[in-house]
Amino acid sequence: QVQLVESGGGLVQPGGSLRLACVASRSSFRLSAMGWYRQAPGNQRELVAGIYSGGRTDYTDSVKGRFTVSRNSAKNTVYLEMNNLKPEDTAVYYCNTIPDVREYWGQGTQVTVSS
């Protein structure tokens, strides 16, 4: 069974930073386009950052310049470095392939930005 396990969330003040990690249970994910998604209460889940073959990255406008996605293929891990966090970044963060696969959704990791 394929698993994607997210970690690194927490409570942080506005302007703070967090680094999320997503570990894949299968090495074949290193060939996949991977994304970080988030879902805030009452909102639909949205793709906020993606990393594609060759290392190309893409971000939704609201996080450009603040978030950085990267991967360590040797560790089957994808990271999301989040800086200058804002209260509107509060959400549960998930990783999945791009496009997403229903069976790959994990529990996510909660990020709360509050003073």
pLDDT greater than 80 at residue 30: no
The residue length of the chain stands at 115
Over residues 68-109, the pLDDT tens digits come to 999 998 899 999 999 999 999 999 999 999 999 999 999 999
**Alpha carbon distance 81, 20 (integer Å):** 6
Name beta bridge partners: 35: 50, 96
Query: How is residue 33 written in tokens?
Result: 């386009």
**Alpha carbon distance 14, 24 (integer Å):** 30
Q: What is the pLDDT of residue 28?
A: 75
Closest CA to 49 of 74, 76, 83: 83
